[in-house]
Structure 1
């Protein structure tokens, strides 16, 4: 019996070992041969190219997964492949972040894998292939991720066949995938198990908003947990039934056009993440938000929400992230943070918050990020805080004052600190926040010496210390201790010593941007530092003299060089290499410009204005050039202009001695924005061939020898964006160019969002490019280094125009200045000029105008300068409003005028002889209307602006102009600036 039992046991053991071996063999060769073949063929259609994804945030690493796919091996062991343990069919394929590049063919063998249950091809590049209808064959799929695959075109209707889907991600690049309404609705009806829908940046704009497309969300399955429709262009209303879906936890609708129609929520909601940022939502915060008590993240940034923050938000005690930035909230930030003890990040930037920060804010022990920049927060910071984990603190662009507390500079975890553009004063204390990477204290009222501890912050990558009151000697070489430093901005140093006290060559290994402004720089010629990676160098306004030193010449990586507003006399032979922008304006350079740039291959912007350059226009600039902006105004150049020009944005040659014909090749500059050829010796007719350059905003031809009539061309698109039109001081004749005037569309439309401190310029360069111009006032040239966008003028003075003033001028509602003086105009002053309510100056002097002064001109409440002298006007002078401020000079030389301010009473007008021709010379002031105001005003305005930029908002300026300041706005901001630059302008 024992032997029998032993025999049975041996048989069982052998069978067991056989079965184990059999299944081991099966498990090592599970892959179905057809699936293996399909995968190997699929592999041949693509290449591995990690460079396509090196800047992807989602793929911190890319994996060459298909490198493990080899013929003769089990496909179930391949990276990214999952097989069914019984059948051997491939049921899972994950090639996300695989850096695959190639076309997705509809006949691809991928679609032979009909047993797939999960498929992810996310973050690969399928070369903008259409999204194939063959994906609808995967009827067993529960998870499909095709996000950011560079598919394009209409999403096929067959996608709705995937009825077992639990998770779907079709996120697109730049709306490459488009939905038809029927396809989307059919998908949502058929997929009753969906828990996650992510359709970010797919295009839903074709879905008609009449029935509120968002209503389909409320009809979705009760299983839905996550819905993300970021930037889908869907439009509609967010209602209670959407927020009341029983299992919905994550709802992301940001960057769409939505409205809120919420009443008090009576449901129990599980919503934890709600993102409605950048949706155009208006009005106050709905009280219903306070009932979403499970929220951990609430983002309402970049809307038009107003009013105050309701104290009921303190009910959201689970909040970890709260962002209310870039709205129109006002008043004091309520003291509600004592209940929000879990808060880790808080965004309140770019609103109109005032007064002090609430004390409960500084008691948040978990807070790691605080954004409260660009408001009107005032007062000092508290002496003590409870922050234990703060890593980012952004308070720039406020009215904070007092000294900087020690805790700000001693938080051990702090990495980003921005206190710029406030009113902090006093000395900077020692800094022991050694984790700091970003430190910006620019434009405060700080003074004294830099603390020695700054040079111990070895993790710094960005440092800004511009001010006006630094004292002592700053040894620039010390900054070389900060070997991680990439961006350095300094200004206002009493003495900035570049030359090292030793013979050691200091290397700034990682420095990319260096800006040293308005300091007393010494030793710049002898400096021996090395900057192997510097691409941006600005040393403007430093009284630097002599030639450009060798250490600048040796910067092979330099792309931007600005040495403007110094006394540089010689550039020598600069090795241009990669240089893209050069600004040597306002110096004393007298080189022959003819071959100055001929080895400059990549220059896009050149500003050599206000120097003493000589020679002819450099032909090499226009031969295969990348040039976009060229400013050579106020030099001593001569000769004719070349026949060809590159596609320029700006060209300013004002104040030279160029002659000959205007180059017709400029008509090929399709993006031309600014053309200033004033004050030269050009002799030609009006350049009608420029009329179709739609981007042209500035056209200045004043002070040349141009002649003839300006043709009244029939067109509906003549100079549509022109806002500065100056053809004064020429020999033009005939009638005023009515056809042009009536098409000046940009002069007609008064923008509701005009920032008075925004300037005309381009954004091709790291710091932008400000357009400048020279205006002649009373034979005195004045330089405008920046042109406000509100500087809208038309000057046709000192020509030989005749006939009547056309009524259509009264449609140019945006005009600030109109000058038609010193012509041969006849007839009455048009009543339509009374419609120019933005007009600040009007000069119609020295013509032959007759009739009465229209009473409508008294509607011009902004009018500061009026000159109607030396005409044939008659009747009584209108009274009231601005007309009560004008003196006799505005009217003299008109024999028939009477009434104040003249001494002639209207009931007893003596006969007088017609004025002699000598009277025509009595008044002459070029651009007096706006230019006089801008002449003093621009100096004052820019000066005040510089003060605000440099030292914060001065209290006397706050009192003078009402306490509201123009704030620097973040991207996408659409608000009107609070003050107008013209309030700063004065009249001589």
Structure 2
């Protein structure tokens, strides 16, 4: 229970209370020294359970001024309505106590209240809810409030405009309450307000320009609020700020220089926005910065020269931007810096030696830049995380790396190293948890066949793209969770020791020459992610693979698998299944429709055949988002109730990417009118079938569609003019049908060439092209290979399938970003 996690220790205070004794002597009870009336009760972390009855003697304590019942368990009961009888109450704390339901209107009777905290026990869903009338009366009546903490309580029925807040407020925290509306400067300019948290609400629009010349705010948190536009220069009026958090919004423009010179600011969090321009070169020596986080923006240029003035800095994160140029050769200071994160930029030149000599440095992340040269000697032995992967570093790996006895994370992948190094040296890192050594250039990583390498804490190991011909032997006692050996020269079968590591959750052996039977992994009962794509697997898929019931992702594409697909209804956790590009000969595996979490299904390029018969239920595939059965021999009509069942989900989340590819089969009949219900669709390929009839006018509802291929069918009639309103459509292929009439003009249709329409003899437009009898039918514009889809659909699949599992193994795939072909191969295109 969350409340217990927040209590370091439970104090069963009530158990010490004795009947017949003076209650003023009881632990947690405070009385007035003269009258003897109970004025305060504090039972924080008291281990209380059950409900508070409305007739409890607690409510007879009319002189109560402070009541604290935080971190207890009141069994999802409502806050008792007699709470309003404490008319003298000034402090009320019921946080993390598992109350639920509507907040009683009687709470607005607490006129003297100065402090109120009702934060719930769980942050994943609303437990408490304010009725709009109760909320407004409370704000109207309780005029002496100084502290109001209502994080994750449902305020979605109210708007920012209805916040008639007391001028006496010092702390206001409404994180994740569902508030809507536009943020105005009234709340930022409250005369006594020092701490304001409005994060996790829907405050769309721009940050307001401040009308007050100064404000008392010390802490301002407005992250995750969908804010847009620039940061107003008037924010420099917030001269008392010590912490400013505007993260996870859509802010753009440059960072105002005045923001970086606020006299007391020590934490500035602007990560995950759209900020651009250079970092202003204005850091003065008297600054108090301890944390500066600009991660995931579009910031350009070099690091400002005055950055060395940040003498108090502990955390600097400017990763995932567009920083360029070399790092400064010398830095005076940074003696307190513990976290230096500059990864995923365009930095070049050699890595200066000061990066490895900072006395307090714990994490140094410089991966995915353009650094060259050798790794300097390392003298900062406090390092726990070192990430240098994805650069152009050369020469031998610095021997001083192996002196970093505290390392828990090490990435050297994707560089141009040379020479050789014995793998046993890495086993010296007894605290190492994640090790990435893939694609080391010309460096030879030497393994001793007689050695069982022992890593006592290693959870993640990436040895891909090293030209390995044998599996390195790992100790059966290893706690390894993820193993990546893809793109090597491994052949034969997988060694037994791999199946004997009980902790193993993710295995990627793609792009080797393995012939191991798939069912060899049926013994790995904890396995969640398995990728054996691009190997030499033959024969059928044994039903024993169903024993690996924990699988969330199974990728067996691009092998020579035959036979049928065994029914594994027990795969209830499966999110991604890719069996594409094999020789499987079967009918459609209808059992897949019952899997509740299946999001990505790829059966393309096999020998699957027959009709996709009418499903017995209308709610099959409840989570499906990517569906690719192209290049098979499926026949019959496109099943309309498949579309209707999947549209239930698509309507609910209309902004999610959704892709359907039924191309190169033998489907016939008309395109179902229900296709228009798939309002989340971004890619649809029905090409190279035997479809007839008109293009459904309902397609006009596919307003998110970006790619549409209906080529090489027998479609008739006109192109619906309503399709012109598909504002996101970038790829269109209607060629080689029997369409007639004029080609619609305007908007996106003005950008398509004649290639989109050729082979339709009676179709005319401004630039109609005649079809020659001997002109061959062109290949379809396969959705997943269009430039506009970036990496290909596999990158989309990462976002939909196996979020947790991919999170485990994606560390080694970071270098693949921007390398579409490798991504396609990694996930089996």
Find the counterpart in structure 2 of residue 797 from structure 1. 688
Change beyond 3 A, Cα 1:65–1:448: farther
Q: Counterparts of 1:263 and 1:449 in 2: how far apart (Å)?
A: 56
The match for 1:410 among 339, 357, 368 is 357
State the 1:66 CA deviation.
Answer: 3.6
CA-CA distance at 1:555 after TM superposition: 0.9
Number of the residue aligned with 1:274? 220
**TM-score if structure 2 supplies the norm length?**
0.84
**Deviation by residue 1:261-320 (Cα, 9 ceiling, x = unmatched):** 444434x64332222333344333333322232222223333343333333335521222
Give yes or no for the alignment of 1:226 onto 2:171.
yes
Q: Which moved more, 1:392-401 or 1:442-451?
A: 442-451
Residue of structure 1 in register with 2:196 after alignment:
251
Q: Please name the residue that 1:582 is paired with.
A: 530
Q: CA deviation at 1:741?
A: 4.8
Question: Separation in 2 of the partners of 1:612 and 1:334?
Answer: 58
TM-superposed deviation, 1:673: 2.9
Is residue 515 of structure 2 the alignment partner of residue 569 of structure 1? Answer: yes
**Which of 775, 778, 789 lines up with 1:925 in the alignment?**
778
Q: Is the 8 A contact 1:295 1:319 kept in 2?
A: yes
Residue 307 of structure 2 is matched in structure 1 by 361
Structure 1 residues 725 and 137: CA distance shift in structure 2, 3 A: same
- Cα distance per residue 1:742-791 (max 9 Å; x no partner): 445345xxxxxxxxxxxxxxxxxxxxxxxxxxxxxxxxxxxxxxxxxx6x
**How far, CA to CA, are the matches of 1:694 and 1:865 in structure 2?**
32
Conserved 8 A contact 2:480-2:503? yes
SS, match of residue 430 in structure 1: coil
Q: Tell me if 1:500 matches 2:448.
A: yes
Q: Could you say which residue in structure 2 is the equivalent of 1:706?
A: none
Is the contact between residue 345 and residue 368 of structure 2 (CA under 8 Å) also seen in structure 1? yes
Structure 1 residue corresponding to 2:641, chosen from 683, 689, 695: 689
Q: How does 1:841-880 map to 2 (within 5 A)?
A: 841-845=732-736, 859-863=749-753, 865-866=755-756, 868-869=758-759, 871=761, 878-879=766-767
What is the number of equivalent residue pairs in this alignment? 783
Given that residues 496 and 520 in structure 1 are in contact (C-alpha distance below 8 angstroms), is that contact kept between their aligned partners in structure 2?
A: no
Indicate which of 488, 501, 504 corresponds to 2:435.
Answer: 488
Whole-angstrom distance in 2 between the partners of 1:716 and 1:185: 32
Residue matched to 1:909: none
Partner of 1:651: 601
Over 3 Å counting, the alpha-carbon distance change for 1:603 and 1:348 in structure 2 is: closer
> Is residue 671 of structure 1 aligned with residue 643 of structure 2?
no
Secondary structure in structure 1 of the residue aligned to 2:419:
strand
Written as runs of structure 1 = structure 2, the 5 A alignment for 1:64-143 is: 64-66=11-13, 69=16, 71=18, 80-84=28-32, 90-98=38-46, 100-108=48-56, 110-111=58-59, 114-143=62-91
Instruction: Determine the structure 2 residue equivalent to 1:302.
Output: 248
Give the equivalent residue in structure 2 for 1:732. Answer: 668
Q: 1:810-867, CA deviations, whole angstroms, 9 ceiling, x for partnerless residues?
A: 77663534334353x556666667666745453433x555667777799532437345
3-state secondary structure, aligned to 1:458: coil
Q: Which of residues 384, 387, 409 is equivalent to 1:462?
A: 409
Name the counterpart of 2:827: none
Offset at 1:597? 0.8
* Contact 1:697/1:723, CA 8 A, preserved across alignment: no
CA deviation after TM superposition for structure 1 residue 413, in Å: 0.8
SS of 1:506 mapped into structure 2: coil
SS at match of 2:192: coil
1:398 paired residue number: 345
- Aligned pairs for 1:467-616 (under 5 A) are 467-493=414-440, 494=442, 497=445, 499-500=447-448, 503=451, 505-524=452-471, 527-530=473-476, 532-571=478-517, 573-574=520-521, 575-616=523-564
What are the Cα deviations for residues 840-895 of structure 1, in whole angstroms up to 9, with x where unaligned?
Answer: 453433x5556677777995324373452373568xx845xxx8xxxxxx6333xx
- Which stretch shows the higher mean deviation, 807-816 or 421-430? 807-816
Change (3 A) 1:75 1:152: same
1:556 shift after superposition: 0.7
2:103 to 149, 155, 161: 155
CA deviation profile, 1:640-688 (whole Å, cap 9, x unmatched): 5666443243433333334455353585332233444444455544423
Alpha-carbon distance between aligned partners in 1 of 2:624 and 2:791, rounded to the nearest angstrom = 28
Alignment root-mean-square deviation, CA: 4.0
Which of 856, 869, 891 aligns to 2:770? It is: 891
Map 1:813-962 onto structure 2 (within 5 A): 814-821=705-712, 823=714, 838-845=729-736, 859-863=749-753, 865-866=755-756, 868-869=758-759, 871=761, 878-879=766-767, 891-893=770-772, 919=773, 922-927=775-780, 930-931=781-782
Q: 2:433 matched to 1:433? A: no
Q: Secondary structure at the match of 2:692?
A: strand
Counterpart check, 1:213 vs 2:162: yes
Evaluate the alpha carbon distance shift between residue 696 and residue 464 of structure 1 in structure 2; reply closer, same or farther with a 3 A threshold: farther
Return the alpha-carbon distance in structure 2 between the equivalents of residues 383 and 687 of structure 1.
Answer: 65
Kindly indicate whether the alpha-carbon contact (under 8 Å) linking 2:623 and 2:649 is maintained by their aligned counterparts in 1.
no
Distance 1:576 1:470 in 2: 35
Q: Which structure 2 residue ranges, 5 or more long, are not aligned?
A: 796-806, 808-817, 822-829
Alignment partner of 2:277: what SS?
A: strand
Aligned counterpart for 2:371 among listed residues 413, 424, 429: 424
Q: TM-score, normalised by structure 1?
A: 0.71
Residue number in structure 2 paired with 1:197: 148
* Gap change, CA 1:724 and 1:339, over 3 Å in 2: same
Q: CA deviation at 1:568?
A: 1.0
Q: State whether structure 2 residue 301 is matched by structure 1 residue 349.
A: no
Tell me, in whole angstroms, the C-alpha distance in 2 between the residues paired with 1:717 and 1:277.
23
Q: Does 1:635 align with 2:582?
A: yes
Q: Distance in 2 between the 1:857 and 1:238 partners?
A: 35
Secondary structure of the residue aligned to 1:491 is coil
Structure showing greater Rg? 1
Q: Indicate conservation of the 8 Å contact 1:436/1:459, yes or no.
A: yes
- Say if 1:580 and 1:864 are closer, same or farther in 2 by CA, change over 3 A: farther
Q: Greater shift after overlay, 293-302 or 663-672?
A: 663-672
Kept after mapping to 1: 8 A contact 2:113/2:142: yes
Residues 696 and 722 in structure 1, CA contact (< 8 A), matched pair in contact too: no
Q: Evaluate the alpha carbon distance shift between residue 689 and residue 412 of structure 1 in structure 2; reply closer, same or farther with a 3 A threshold.
A: same
Query: Equivalents in 2 of 1:153, 1:169: separation in Å?
Result: 16
Deviation of the 1:569 alpha carbon: 0.9
| Structure 2 match to 1:32 | none
Are the counterparts in 2 of residues 694 and 721 from structure 1 also a CA contact under 8 Å?
no
CA distance in 2, matches of 1:891, 1:808: 29
> Which range moved further: 277-286 or 854-863?
854-863
Does the 8 A contact of 2:224 with 2:247 survive in 1? yes
